[in-house]
Structure formats: structure tokens, C-alpha cells
Amino acid sequence: SRSINLAVIPGDGIGQEVVAEGLKVLSAVLPQDVKLETEEYDFGARRYHATGETLTDADLDALKRHDAILLGAIGDPSVPSGVLERGFLLKLRFAFDHHVNLRPSKLLPGVATPLAGQPEIDFVVVREGTEGPYTGNGGTIRKGTEHEVATEVSVNTAFGVERVVRDAFARAQARPRKKLTLVHKNNVLTFAGHLWTNVFNRVAEEFPEVTTDYIHVDAATIYLVTDPARFDVIVTDNLFGDIITDLAAAVSGGIGVAASGNINPSGAFPSMFEPVHGSAPDIAGQGKADPTATVLSVALLLRHLGHDAEAARIEDAVSADLAELPRSLKGTGGTPTGRPARSTSEIGDALAVRVAG
């Protein structure tokens, strides 16, 4: 479409700084005839302290009217753990049925990795986003006693598993290597694991060109470190996906470059794009955060909306920038030997110049 109506949620900490750079690059890459409209929302710790609200029904109605959402980061040490996670992030993913949590991992030339050599890393994790142990289906009895019992039930539905598995097959089919790996733990989680395996095998019959593989999640953490090249597309449940995508980010350049999309492929609700990193209060306000992960999330956003050429221009610009001025693994502006670190906005400026030129 020739216009983009974007909801912008800078959020807390470095979220504010990195989102500004993401928008800078977005404006620079869009052709004249694509009209960009943005509306900023003040969700996060400040709003919570001021009003006690995290995300109301009225907020959801307002967000619903946008084509997509760009999020910086939500979270602050002044808010008890779980309040913003459940009350904002997870609430939004569930309300907008973001069942495809897309997390690509590509080790770009010049990017530091703790792995030996410079291994081929180019895979994407399709993490289920609305089920598993994230549904809040659990409880505690005899709380606070030495006989306390807590349950946290993992919910897996044939409908929910099939739609995410199908999406992952389609993504594998569209990539040159056409390989899809199911990651689960079906030797122990025999109920959910068998549902996933059966659905996976059934959908596989519709994608004869896609090579399939299955790996237990514990073994997958070994291969992600010893042989990441074996992965092309991975599909997995919500919690396994949460854990392995942090590992994936760590081996492919760190959280400073890890992008993600919380996608509703049907388009019934807007999808949300965000860097995998958090609000990093320890470096907030200092211009030290690397905006690259947010800029790459903007590329995912553009591809989701059908602006493939502009998405590719952003990815090319990031590759060129990283090759020329490598970042440190810390995920901040980076100090390549003999060069001063660039600030958040200097990196954003450089990327904006590249995508425009």
C-alpha cells in the first residue's frame, strides 16, 4: 500500500533512543509517494507509575487502527517483575493474536561472535507466540507454606500448533535451502511433544520440497554453538523459542543486532516489531545503545507490509555499515580498535545516509 500508518511505542530506557533512529531510517528509505503517518504511545513504566495502567481496552482499540506497531523496549527496575511483562507485552501479543514470533539470526561479515572461526549462521526461528506455558494457566495452593504447590500449565492446541507449523513450512519453502527443524522435547513432554510432532509430520506432506528434521531442545542448544550452519528454519513452542533465540542472538552478533516480529499473518490485527533486547536502564540516556536491532526490526516491518525493496535496502545498509565499522559484542555503539565509538544517533545517521543514497 502507498501509505503506512504506524503506531510507535518507544517505551522505557534505551527504547526511546533506538526507536528515534529506527524512525529516522524508515523516513529515509521510503519513496516520496509512500506517506508515513506515525502516532506515539506512552506505554511503559512512566505511564504505569502515573496511572497504574499498563494497556487498557481503549489502548487496544487505538492500536488496532494502525497498519503495524514499532516498539522499543518496555521494562524498568522500579516496576515489580512480571507487571509490565504480563500487563503489556504478553497482553498485546495475546490480544492481537501474534502467533508467529519471527526471530532471524544471521551472522553478518565483520560481526563478532563468541564462536570459533566465522561460521555460517543464517537461520530464522519461528517461535509460537500465543500458547505454551505463557498463557497464565496455572496456580498456587498452600502458598507460603512448606507444602506450597505451583503449576504452570503449557497449553497446546491443534489449531495453534498447526497454524504456526504451517507458517514455518511456508517460510522454509521460500528460502534457498528449504529446510525446517522442529525443536521440542517429545521424549519427556509426551503430550504436547506428540501433538507437535504429529502436526509437523502431517503438514510436511503438503511441502514435499522441504527437508525436515527434529531435534530435542537440549541438543539444539549444543548444535546452535557447535554447528549453527545445520539450521535454516526452526519451529518451536513459546518457551523453548524464548530460550533458544537468546542463544541464537548471542552467537550471531549479540542483542545489539537481533530483530524480531510479533506477527499476525492474517492481518486481522497489526503486527508488532521490536528489537530482542530490553530497556537496558544501565546505559539509558547516554547515547550508547546500538540502534541496529531496531533498524533491522523496521526492515522486518516493511517486508511484512509488502515493501520488500525498502526492507532489502535497509538490510544491505546494515551489512555495509557493520562490515565497515564492526560493533563490540556488548551491543552498544562499539569500539573497534583505534576508532572512537559512535553514538546511537551517529549510527542511525550513517544508516539513514546509506539507505537514502
Residues that bind ligand IPM (CB under 6 A): 85, 89-90, 242
* Known catalytic residue at 67: no
**Nearest approach, Cβ of 164 to ligand IPM (angstroms)?**
15
Kindly tell me which of 7 and 125 has the beta carbon lying closer to Mn ion.
125
Catalytic residue among 42, 213, 227, 246: 246
Binding mask 230-249 for Mn ion (x = CB under 5 A): ------------x-------
* Known catalytic residue at 179: no
Alpha helical stretches, state H, the chain:
15-29, 45-51, 57-64, 83-84, 91-95, 158-173, 190-204, 217-226, 238-251, 292-304, 308-324, 344-356
**Nearest approach, Cβ of 90 to ligand IPM (angstroms)?**
6
Q: Is 286 annotated as a binding residue?
A: yes
Burial class (CB in 10 A: 0-12, 13-18, 19+), 249: buried
**Nearest approach, Cβ of 182 to ligand IPM (angstroms)?**
20
* Known catalytic residue at 185: yes
CB 11 within 8 A of CB 76: no
**Nearest approach, Cβ of 31 to Mn ion (angstroms)?**
35
* Known catalytic residue at 232: no
**Nearest approach, Cβ of 238 to Mn ion (angstroms)?**
10
Write out the three cell numbers for 124. Answer: 530464522
Binding mask 190-229 for Mn ion (x = CB under 5 A): ----------------------------------------
Q: What angle do the packed helices 308-324 and 344-356 form, to 10 degrees?
A: 130
Q: Which of Mn ion, ligand IPM, none is residue 102 near (CB under 5 to 8 Å by kind)?
A: none
Q: State which amino acid sits at residue 36.
A: L
Catalytic residue among 41, 48, 76, 134: 134
Catalytic residue among 218, 227, 308, 316: 218
* Known catalytic residue at 218: yes
Q: Is 289 annotated as a binding residue?
A: yes
Q: Which of Mn ion, ligand IPM, none is residue 122 near (CB under 5 to 8 Å by kind)?
A: none
The span from the CA of 119 to the CA of 342, in Å, is 27
Cα Rg, the chain, nearest whole Å: 20
Residue 3: C-alpha distances to residues 27, 38, 53, 78, 353 (Å): 12, 11, 31, 38, 22
Question: What is the per-residue DSSP string for 140-180?
Answer: EESTTSTT-EEEEPPB--HHHHHHHHHHHHHHHHTSSS-EE
Instruction: Return the active site residues.
Output: 134, 185, 218, 242, 246
What residues are designated binding site? 93, 103, 127, 218, 242, 246, 278-290
Contact residues: Mn ion, CB under 5 A: 242
